[in-house]
Structures are given as C-alpha cells and as structure tokens.
Amino acid sequence: MALRTTAYSCLAAQSLLQQDKELARGDRELAVVALVLHHGDRRWNAATRLSDLFTESAPDAYRAVGRMPPNAQPTGPEDLPRVVLGLSGVTKAEQMRAALTVLLPLVEACEDEDFDRFMARSVNAMLLSKGFSSQQLEEAMTMNTVVTEFQRSWDEVRQEGVEQGQVAVLVQLIARKFGQRTAEEVRRLIEGRPGRDRIAKVAAAILDCDTPEDFVGRVREG
C-alpha cells in the first residue's frame, strides 16, 4: 500500500501540474496527501511508509526517485514510480508504445484491480495531454486495454502514413501519363483512407489504360 499511495500521489501531482499549465496559472507550491482507511477486522500490519520497503534506507528519510533510464529494465513493482516518472518525458508515439509495454506488467504484478483502473484513467489522461487520443483508447478501463488500443491506434496511423505516401506516388505517375487535371480528379476520388486493394487497382489501371477517360472510368468502378 505504501508503494501504491506513492504512485497515486505522483500521478495526482502530474495531473495538477498539467492543469496549471493548461490554465496558465504559473508556478505554485503543490501538496498531495494520501489518506488510507483500513476497514479490516485485524490490526494493520503492512508498511505505512515507503522507506519501510527499503531495508537500506534510513528510518524517516526520503529517497529521491529519478526517471528510469531508457535502456534499463525494471525488475518488479518497486520500480513502478521510476517508470511512471519516465512517461512525462516521452513525446513520440513509438517511444510511448515501448514505455507502456514496460509499464503494463508492473501494474499487473500489483494484482490490484482498483489500482489497475486508476492507472488506466491516469495514463489515458496523460496520453490525451500529449495528443495521443482515440475513442476506443478513451473508453479503455484497464491498463491492458489501454496498451492494446494505443498499439492499434499507432498501427493505424502508421498504415495511414504509408498509404498517403503511396497515393502521392500514384498521383505523380498519373500526372505524367494522363495530365495534371486527371491526376487531381483521381486524387479526390481516392483521398482519405484508400486501402491497399484500391491502391493496387489504381496502379494496375495506370498500366492498362491508354486514355484519361478510360482511366478515370476504371478508377470510379473501384
């Protein structure tokens, strides 16, 4: 519980700092206090301080926790705060995918469904603040679903970029064979998400057709 409340506090502080940044409040001192209510029949016997989890730490001493180095591999849930801190410096989708892949097993190792859902909400808010967003991702309720939907969104964006590049090449080829006007007309017909099959059909039509009219008619037929 001491480790969980520390992670909760770190994520709450990150959320407050992000809100201050969005509202242009400027720098201010923040304090996050975690209150744990125990409803069990027996006396609480688990650690109440984070320092109690580290045998080499001096009693009542604070331990500074930095970000996990990019190439370092966490060994267990005790590394969760360092991994969470490391997310704040990630801005690229590929790096975020790798970071979430490392974070997921650490959260699942805690074996706490409430904590899992809390982490899912917090990571979703962080992803939204960094510009990573989709409807499926925002509706994810567990860390496993968050990671899965982020991966799916990343794959879709990457595939869309590939298809847009292929369309740009096709438009250049069409302009050379049939003229710029035909190229622009076909661009309007296949822009957006053309798909692999349609791109292949357009490429074949460039080779098969001899006139702009026949070529445009073939593209319209799909």
Residue 214 lies in a domain: yes
Q: Distance between CA atoms of 18 and 143, rounded to whole angstroms?
A: 21
The pLDDT of residue 157 = 61
Q: Which of 8-12, 65-69, 144-148 has the highest mean pLDDT?
A: 144-148
- Statement: residue 153 has pLDDT above 70: yes
Domain that holds residue 195: 160-221
Task: Report pTM.
Answer: 0.44
> How many structural domains does the chain have?
1
In the Cβ-directed half-sphere of 109, how many Cα atoms lie within 13 Å?
Answer: 13
Give the pLDDT band of residue 18 (cuts 50, 70, 90). Answer: confident
Residue 204 CB contacts under 8 Å (≥ 6 apart), including other chains: none
Residue 180 lies in a domain: yes
Give the pLDDT band of residue 162 (cuts 50, 70, 90). Answer: low
SS3 84: helix
The pLDDT of residue 60 = 55
Residue 165 lies in a domain: yes
Give the pLDDT band of residue 59 (cuts 50, 70, 90). Answer: low
Residue 166 lies in a domain: yes
Q: Distance between CA atoms of 24 and 18, rounded to whole angstroms?
A: 10
Residue 62 lies in a domain: no
Q: Which of 165, 159, 173, 196 is nearest to 186 (CA)?
A: 173
Express as a percent the part of the chain with pLDDT over 70.
82
Residue 85 lies in a domain: no
Residue 58 lies in a domain: no
Q: Distance between CA atoms of 28 and 103, rounded to whole angstroms?
A: 29
Residue 182 lies in a domain: yes
Contact 124, 91 (CB under 8 A): no
